[in-house]
Every structure is written in C-alpha cells, then in structure tokens.
Structure 1
Amino acid sequence: MEKKLLRLEQENARLKALLKEREEEKRITSLRTGECLSESEEKFRILFDEHSAVMLVIDPDTANIVDANRAAASFYGWSIEELRKMNIQQINLLSPDVVLKEMEKTRSSKQNRFVFCHRLFDGSVRDVEVFSNRIEIGGKAFLYSVIHDITERNQAEQELRISEERFRKLFESHAAVKILLDPDTGNIVDANRAAADFYGWSVEELRKMNIRQINPITVEEIQNNLDKSRSAKQNRFFFRHCRSDGSVRDVEVFSSKIEITGKEFLYAIVFDITESKKTEKLLSDSELKFRTITEQMVEVVFVSDRSGILTYASQAIEKIFGYTPQEVIGDHFTEYLAEDEIPGALLIFNKTLQDDLIDQVVEFRFRKKNGDFFYGEVHVHYFQGQDLSGMMGLIRDVTERKKNENRRKQYEQELLENGLLLKSIYEEVNHSIFVVDVLPDGSYQYKGHNPLNEQLTGISNQELVGATPEKLFPPQIAQKFIGNYDACVRRGSSIHFEENLQFMGKVSWWETVLNPVRNDYGRIYRIIGTSTKITARKLAEQKLFHLNKTLEERIAERTRELEIMHQQVILHEKLASIGQLAAGIAHELNNPLNFIKINFSTQKEYFDDLLLLVNEYREITGKVESMGGFLAPALQKLRRMEAELDIDMLLDDIPMIFSESNNGFERMTTIINSMRNFSITHAPDERVSFDLNQGLRDMLILARHEYRDIAGIETRFDEVLPSVYCNPEQINQLFLNMIVNSAHAIKSQNRSSPGTIALHTWFEGSKVFCSITDDGPGIPEEIRRDIFNPFFSTKEPGKGIGLGLSICYDIVVHKHGGTLSVECPAGGGTIITIGLPSRICPVAGFQPE
C-alpha cells in the first residue's frame, strides 16, 4: 500500500511538471507565431502549413473557416479543401450565437484563450484549448487560432484529483492504524480514525502530540529509529506503545519515507501484536505436540534443510530402515537411496524448494541398514519456518504394493481380450449406447456412441466425439442432458428414467439408464448410457392412460356416492349405539341414586330428631348448671367436650351439607333424565312429536363439560312453541353437534374471558325455528360455500364428533324437509338457523319443493 501511495505521489508530480512544460510550449509557440506573422506573408504561409500545431484562420463576420493547415486536416479528419468550405459551427459544439459571441471577444481583444469541445470527422469529441488572435490580411480582419488537444491532459488532471481523493479515503478509512510523522521533530502530523480508536485519543489530539508521548523509549533511540526509516536502512520495527488509558501494547511498525509538497514525512502503519506474543508459547506447545504425534506414526517422518541434510527423523525409521534417528540426522538424504534413484530424487528436491511445491507424491527405492532394498512412497512438500526452510516428508513402505503390480500386469492381457469382446457387443447390441466423459471442472464431453445410436439420432460418431452437450444440441435439450448427468454424478450409482427428445425433426421417447464409472481414486470420470427407443410403447401407454382416467373418474363419482351412503349408515349405527349406551348408563345410575336419595332423606330426618334432642339436653343442662350442686363439675366437663368437638359448627354446617347434597342429587336426576330422553330410539324413517325446547335443554346438560369453562349460555325459548314431527335421535345429535362446534370455535381464540352461546326458538308460518349463535371467529368467506359439501372439515384430523355439516344438511333438508342456513356477521361470530316443519313429514328422503 505504501508503494502504491508513493507511486501516486510521483505520478502526481510528473503530471504537474508535464502540464507546466506544455503551458510553456504553448506560450513559446504563440510568440513565435506572432513573430513569423510580422516578418512576411511567405514565412507565415510556410509556418502555417508546416507547423505541427493545429491552426485555423476564421472570418469573424461569418464564422467560415478561411484556411487550415495540414495538422488541422490530420486532427479533424477532413481535408484542407473540405475545411475551407466549412463553418466553425460545424466543429464547435456550442450554439451558433455563443460561437459568434466568443469570436467577438477575440476580435475586440477581450479574450484570446478558450476551452471548447470540437467534433471530429469520425463523430468523436475532443477537449481543445484555443489561442486566438486578431490579424489583418489585405485590410480585412481575421481570427488566427492555434488549437491544442487537451483531452488527455483533462483526463490526467481528473485522474490526479481522483488519486488524491482515493489516497485521503484510504488513509482515513483504512482499518489499519496509520500515522504521518515529521522525522525532524517527531511530531505526529496526521492520524486516521483507526489510530484514534487504538490509542484512545481523538485525531485532533494525536495531531498535537509527539511520538515520544506514545513510545516510551529514550529520545536518542526514537531519533535513531526515525533516521533509519528516513534513510531506508530499516522500515520494520517492534515497539511498546502507550495508550490514553495507561495500557501498553506490543506493536509492529512498518515505516516508509514519502514526500508531500517537497517535504519528507514518515508514513507508518502500526499493527497490534500483543496477542501474537501470547501465542509464542502456544507455538512451542504445538511443536511438542508435533513431535509426539510423529513419534507415534508407523510411517517415517523426516525434515531436511535446503541443502538436503536431515535435521529430524521419527522413531519409525528404526523399524523401516534399521537406523536410529541419531544415526541419520546430519547425513544427506541421498545416502539412503539406491544409486539409480539419486538423480531423480535430487531433481524432485530442487524443484520442491525452487517452486515451493506442496504435497508431491513420488516413489523411490531405499537402502536399509542391512543392505536390503525396499520401495517407499514419499510425500514431500516445502516448508518455511521462522528461522529455516527446507523439505518435510513422510515415507511409507509400499514393497507389497509393488509386488502386486506384477499381478496386475497379468490381468492386462485379459482386459485387452475383454475389451475386444465389449467392442463387439458395443457395436452389435440392439441398444443405443453412448459414453460421456466427466471433466475435472464438472462439465461433460462425449467420448463416442455405437452405430445404432448414430442411426437413431442422425449424429455421426465423428461429430459426437470431443463435443459438449451445449455444442451438439439446442440449449433446451442440452440442459436436459446435463441435468441427467449431474443427477447420476450426485447419486453416485445408476439412474433410470424416461424422456422425450426431438431428433431429425421428430419427437421420440427413450428409456435410458446412466451408469457412473469411477477411477482408482474413487472419482466418477465417465458415464456410460444405454437407451431404448420406446415411442410406440409410450403412445400405447398414453392411450391407455386416457382410458384409465375416464374410468377412474366414473369410479370416483360412484365411490363418492357410496361414501355418502356409508357415512349415513355409520351415523345411524353410532346414534343407536350412543342411545343404547346412554339408556344403560341411566338405568344403572338411577337405582343406586334412588337408594342414596332414600337413605339421605332418612338421615336428614334422624339428624332433625337429634337436633331437637341436643337442644333439649342443652336447655336441661343449663337449668341444672344454674342450680349448682355436685353435678356442676360434670356439666363443666360436658361444656368442654362440646367446645373441643365444635358442636356449634357441626349444627350449623350439617344442614348446609344436606342442602348441597340435595342439589347434587337433583342435578344427577336431571342429567339421567336427559340421557333417558337422548337414549330413546326410533327407526330411521320414524317420525314422532318432539318438544324442540326440551331437546335443546337436554343437549345443553349433556354438552356442559364442553362449554362450562369456555362460554356462558343465553336461552330465549318460545314457551308456546308447537311440537315438530321428526326423528328425535337425529335432531338431538344435530343440536349436540352445533353446541359443541360453537364451544370449540370460541376455545380456538384462546380468549382471556368467556364467550357466549345463545339459543333462540320461535314459530313462524308453518315452521318452527331454532338459532344457535356464538361470538367465535366465524367462518372465512372463501370457504362458506364449501361447508355443506361432503367430507369438508375445518378441524384437524381426529377431532370432532364425526357429524359433518353435509350430513346435518341432509338430516334437516332431505330427511325432514326443513332449512339450514349459516350467517357470519361482519363483527364476527356465527349464526346457524334450523327450520323444521310443524307438520308430519310423510317419508324419509322427503325432497322439498
């Protein structure tokens, strides 16, 4: 970064010098031109025509170009003759009025230097600096203009401004701590925000400080270091710097000399290395861990310096070579190689050090201490430590593997013969076969295909070999092939699929199997595909599919009808089962309940008698106690026993217990009566007179556990409501379902206060109506039209009592000739209104008009 900044400063100075030189050149050129014009017309003509500067003579009255030199023709791109026929407004991008005003300034000597944008013949636009003077030729005034192309100069000035701004931003915004020092005084000239954050002083405070206030070494040492950095003898230093909070940090400082407006400064970048000091011990521990690990390895780990001298060998060398580590350290590594392996080993060694190679794997023959030779696989790589560099490696005995190579060669002939056999199969088999190479970058390249595939696709093997899918096929087909190959590589095993493709203008179907092939390292490097053309079969399958689809639709429709009938049968059986169960429970509960009620009544009578007796006892003992005598102690003992047994409390509490128990018995009797009413069974088609109000009361009792803690009940029953003729089991189950649904809707809101369920009955026309209203969330508008459809539900699977609104609708409308409607007011909640005829519905399955 320091070098870049220095180069930018040097470039800035060079550009400024160049601009100054050009200004001087223009000034001299202008003077010389004036002198030449004053000498003679001939000299002016020669100077005008031959001068390298672009020159024009312009009529200020018309703005026509009177004359131009060869440099002007070369610059603008028109010939001199063409320029003499042109007007300056065809070149100058300013408006005609402005051009004439600018020429008037020259003619009146108010201004003779201008900056314009001129258009060239090729359409390009250049920035130009124009020096224009008024001259007279034959008594007529003309404007003599010398034109300099300053496009590059403007660009250079712009780049210089950008460079200066970039340097300032790099300095101020850089995350590294940066300081600008005056080497003569040690004063801090500038500092960036990172320096302020690191040292704890603001940038303004740092600019008023001296480096001695940060660096605690002596003045002589500071000045000595400043001189070293200034003379470029040393640009890297290690110090301990103080911060505003009194803490001291270890820092590494990189300092270089820069020049700003002729003055030398030191540009320093400071790095906090306090933590790295703490890691030195960790590095020492890491080295110990390295030695511990290498000593446990079965392979030989060795380290050599740059000259090839062994500086370390692990204990495994004794087992593999027969030498102890102490015997080999200090020897050159080639002493343990076979003679014919030494040149190759030295070549590898030198290349490793020269190119800093990492993780090379080679094989050499090594010599053991007893003179035997063995094959070793060597992993070597270059290493660079703090104080030394060289080569580090690992040696593994692979003698057995080399022996196995001979066995492998015996198989090569068999593989060759098998290859010929596979080739004959490849060419004669009645399947399309193609081979795709998987390149290291993940792309694909065709290796070839058999004659049958060549015939079916219309692509010759010569065209296919070496081509990629993108080159050989249209983009859509190529991407489909690449996707299939990617899927095979990702899976790592065979894949099977069908696809439709277009070859030779026809769409065809293919059944393809892709098989991945792995190399010795387990990487998939090739895919072998086999394809069978199945167009005829697919057309037959599509025809069969359409036939099956038609049949399935018919079966689905019939199945739907059967499901509805089945659901109704299940409902009837469920209602019958529930009724039988309720009747049994009511019967079983009624007998013990009557027994308890009779005993309870008897107990209450006994208690009343005992209460009379206790009151008489108290009255008598009170009189005896007032008389005194020998019975007084016995009476006092009796009083104490009454106090200990809290007889007064018992006499007050027992009547209350009797009252509450009696209420409980009445409640149980009501529930049992409701269960009896619910359990009365009728044939599905049977219709009997039914009190709608009593049915709702019974269902409220049975469903109380569902709404007890969730909602309050409001009832508004028409007490003179006429009876309806219906199937009571179905209507009761309908009411129960509606009440439970309302309770569940309110519960789903997780409210902090109870909701409300309101039941209202009334008579209107020839129908008896019942509405069940709740203040739950309501039913979303988008699903209201579906709520009466078969099998539609808004509840999670496994919840509810098994009676959907579709069957409720069937019970009310179809079986009883009534009406069922659902409303959801804008303020929320749901209102379900049921209307039933007050007359007899003739048969089940009645369809209202």
Structure 2
Amino acid sequence: MAEGMIISLINNLALLLALGVIYEVSYSLPSRWNKAVEIIKGLLIGMICLAIMLVPFQFTSGLVFDTRSILLSISAYVFGPIPSIIAGAIGIAYRVSMGGVGVFTGVTVVILSVALGLLWRRIGPQIFPRRIWLQIYVLGLVVHILMLGAMFLMPFESAIVVVRAIRLPVLAIYPIGSVFLAVLLLHQRDRHEAMGRVVEAENRYRTLFEGSKTINMLVDPASGKILDVNPAAVDYYGWTAQQMKGMRVSDISTLSAVEVKNEMDLAVAGQQNYFQVQHRKSDGTVVDVEVYSGPIEIDGKTMLYSATHDITQRVAVQRELEDSENRFRRLIDSAPAAIFIQADGVFVFVNRFTMELLGAKRPQDLIGTSVVERCHPDEREAVQKRIRLLNESKLAVPIRTGTMVRLDGSTVIVDISAVPIQYKGKHGALVFAQDVTERIQMERVKSEMEAQQRQRQKMEAIGTLAGGVAHEINNPISGIMNYAQLIQDKATDGSEQAVYAGEIIHETERIAQIVRNLLQFSRQEKQSHSYASPYDIVEQTISLIRTIIKKDQIELEIEMEPGLPKLKCRSQQIQQVIMNLLTNARDALNEKYDTYDENKKIRLLVQQHAKDDRRWIRFVVEDRGSGIPVEIKDKIFEPFFSTKPKDLGTGLGLSISFGIVHDHHGILSVDSKEGEYTRMILDLPVDNGWDLK
C-alpha cells in the first residue's frame, strides 16, 4: 500500500506544475484587468485543486489523499489571501460533495493549509530572512504535521491506522514538493519583476532621450557609428533620423576619423567628457558645438551617450576678444580707471590705477595673487561664483557694488563689472573697478539727513496737532475745574460734596499737566538752551508713558539720586530720548512676556558721577527682555536699522536719539546680554559748554 500511495502521490504532484503556468498567465493579462487578476488567479488555482482532487490516492472508501495541502499552502504563501481563499473555498465545496468518513478531516486540512500559508507569508521572512528554501521546507513540514494531526478528527482506531500508513510519504515527500513548487513560483516572480524594471528603465530612457530639446545621440565607440538620434538632432543637422543612423561621427565632425576615435576613447575611459569641436550640417554649414559625452551600458555593451549644444555665437565672441587682446592692451594699461585681468582666479595683468586702488607699489605685488583674497570676507563666496561664470561658462556678469581690501588692510568701495576673455590661452575676465567710496559715504549722509528731516517734519505736524488738541481740552477742563471749585467753596468741610469736588479738582489738574507735558514734548521748534531739572525731565516723560506701561502689566521702578544738579540742555529733546528708550524697553518686554511676569519690569536709574574733572548726569533704562544679539549690537544706532516689524518701527528712533545726545556733547551707549537684559546708558554733562545768552 505504501508503494502504491507514493507512486500515486508523485503523479499527483506533477499536476502542481500547472501552478507555474497560472503565474505566467497572470503576468500576460492586459493591464485593464488588474483589478480582476486576484480573482482570476483564485479561480484558476481552484480548477487545479479540483484536478488534483479528481485523481487522488484512495485509502479507503470516503478517505482520499492528494497534494491539495501543498497547492493551497504554497498558493497562500506566494499569491496572498484573495486567490488562496477562493481556491480553498472551491476545494472545500468539492470535498464536501465527495462525502465519506474523511470529509470533516479533508475540510480541516484545506483550512489549515490556507491559514498557515498566509501566516507564514508574514512571519517566515523574519524567522529565516536569507534562506527561502528553509522557510518553505519548515512551512511544508508544519502543514503536514498538522494534517496528520487532523486525522484524529476521525475515530481514534481509524486515525491510528491512517497515520501509520501515510506518515512516511507525507513527511518525506510533501515538504520537498512544497519547496520545489515555491522556488519555481518565486523564481518566476523575480524574473518578471526584473523584466518589469528593465522595461520601465528603457521607457524612462526613451522618454528622456526623445523628449529632450538638447541634441542627443547614441554612438558605438568601437566603430564610431551613430546608433540613435533624437528629434532635436534631426532638426539641427538637417538629415533624417534614418540617414543619421547610417552615418559615423566622423561624417559630421571636421576632425579626422583618428582624432574622433581618440576623443571617444577618452570619453569611454571617463578621462574627458567635454569636447569643443566643429560639426557639419546637411547643407554644408560648419558650426561650433560643445559635446558632453559619457559611457552608458545597453544590453551589456558600452555605448556613448552624447549631448550637443550649439556655441557658434559664443565662440565667435571669444575669438573676437582674443583677436583684440593685443590691440587693446596698451589702451587698458593707460586708461584712467582701475582695470585688471584675472585668469584662473588670480591677477595676471593690472594697470596703474589698479595698483593705486589696492595700494600696490609695483605690478608684482598683485600678479599671481588671488583675486578673491582682495575682496571683503563677507563677499568672497559670491565673488567665487562670478569668477566661475566668467571662466567656465564664459558669461559676462553685471555691474555690482562691493568692497575690496587693500594691501594695508584698509577697505575701498567699488563698482565692479567684468566680461569673459581669453588671455594667453587661458579663460579669464577683463575687470573694471571704479572707486565709489566717497559717493557712497555722501549718499549715506544724505539719506540720514533726509530721514532726520522727515522725522522733524512729522514731529512738527504732531506738535501742531497736539497744540490744537491741547487748547480744545484745556477749555472744558478749566470749566470743570472752576465748577468743582464753586461746589467745594459752598460745601461743608468734610462733607461728601467737598470730598468729591476735591477729587474732581485733583484729577482735572493732573489732566491739565499731562496736556502741558504732551504739548511741550511734541514741539520741534528750536528750543533755547536752558538749565533743566533731571527730576522735571523724568516726571514729565513718565506722565506721558505711565498709563501705557501700566496697561501692558509692566512694573516701572524709578531710582533718582537726591540732590541732582540742573543741567544745560534742550529739555524736550532729552525727554524725547528718554521716551524712546522707555518705549524700546516696553516693546522688548512685550515681545518676551505675553502676560504678567515678575521680571516684566523697567528700571530707570538717575545718578550723578564725575569724569575727567566734569560732573555728569547718568540716565540708565534697564529691561529684562531678550537682549541684543552680538552680531547686531554695533548697528542699532544706524538709520533705518530695526528688528521690529515694519508696522511697529522705522529704525530712526535710536539714530535720532544718538544725534540729539551727540549735539548735547553726551554719550549714548548700550550694555546687553542676549536672552537676559539690556541697559541703555545716557550720559549728559551738567555743563555742556553752551552759551545760554
């Protein structure tokens, strides 16, 4: 019986080879059937399952054995859930229709085979990542051990007889059959995936080759024959694609066949991929071209892929420049402007004015030295890019303003432009430099003056408006104060009316004082020099900003040394400076703290000190905001420099304040640590030397 069973099962295994045919069929289906491929696979596998079950080994009546367990477990492992479940359902349906004592066992084997195949599809590669045959063998062994176990779903005595009879062929043949079938299918899958990648790469190459506007050719370097050309090449040269495919590179090149072969050998070896040559068109026209050529592997053979660009016009310009070099050399040398030539990024020629511009005593001080080293460090990267455009791409660069470093380390601002030339066989540039240091400085002064003038005009307009508003407010305030005084005069001392009237008088006097301070602060006409009390200056300034600071939940600490002397100044201007410093401190705190914080405070310190046998008054405005970064600390007094958004700052506040302090012979400085604090320090001499007459 065992021998007959083994022969029957081996014959049954042969039917499994049909599964390989199904795999091939699935790859040949039209792409529009992609969504139905899984179902079709399942139906085809189910048909094979039926064929296998139609020629089983019959152990007893109603108890048959075949290779459906191999078919279904490997199908689940290779094809996935949908095909294997469909095939399993077909197998179950047919086994139920067969009936017999082993029907329940047969259905269980189908279910176990599909389930274990799908499970092993997930965990098998993790357990045996590099040995696919071992994965499949273990799967086949586990499936058929469980199949033997399923025999015990029949009566125990029958199960023992069956297991003893089939255990050897099942455990010996079935796992090996599983490995053979799986390896066959996986090999087919890998082969088709590799073919798919090849087709995809060929399609991508063809799209890039045909669709490019660049002239593309594929050349056999061994024979020099043109194998393929794109439409751009056909349009450029004037021959048809078929005609060009029958030509050699030497047929369109002005070089000899030997010279062409040498250049192709260089390209194949990767020693050179750029060539500047002349080509012939179909009408006999000779054009200058640059060719980028490199090796490419096609069907295991090395070819040359060449991209060609027409440079006829550029070459004509270069030749004209080369021809004119000697003619203009003496003109350049004697020109009343700084002109020099650079090649490979170094000075190769300088005229007299270039030496004067850079502080050189003789040409040898500059010849052979780096052009980039004579540029400001912040601009060197940009200069290197411009040199590459000039030397490699042969493109002129537009005029720009930059800073050059003289040999003694000082700097000079220049307007500089350049055009590409060829000098003594080297690609370089003719550079023109014009000293504009004085002009730039004058423009900066003019810009600062215009900005200050605009600010003065703005403040004058504000002063005019404030004056009108003050007069309009003062009239009703005076009426309110007078009526409150009348009420207080008639009221009994200590009564509610007297108390309320006193409060009204106090508040109206405070409003009147604020209006007077605002009017005095906003006036921008020339104020005569006078002695002013530091206490009054601070009090009048604080009265204008105290409410805003309180609204922002900022604590204001004021420390004023007693007995401070009066100082010569224009008090409104000093108020303007202090107001600006307090406003900046407020903005810094609001930026760091959205709501109340114990560190959200401004400290105003006023004290007297002596320096150089003179008395000075120092005003210090300190905040615990974000501080000033080191890299911008030296720029904060420059006009239009601001770290605030455009709608919050003009960049003129500190610049104007600096000018006011300078006019008062004082000093405005800053002490800051980024992330911790900022102290703005205003030092004013008690006697600044002004004549008060």
TM-score calculated relative to the size of structure 1: 0.37
Question: Given the two structures, how large is their TM-score scaled by the length of structure 2?
Answer: 0.44
Considering only CA atoms, is the larger Rg found in Structure 1 or Structure 2? 1
Answer 1 or 2: higher relative contact order, Cα 8 Å, separation at least 6.
2
Higher helix share: 2
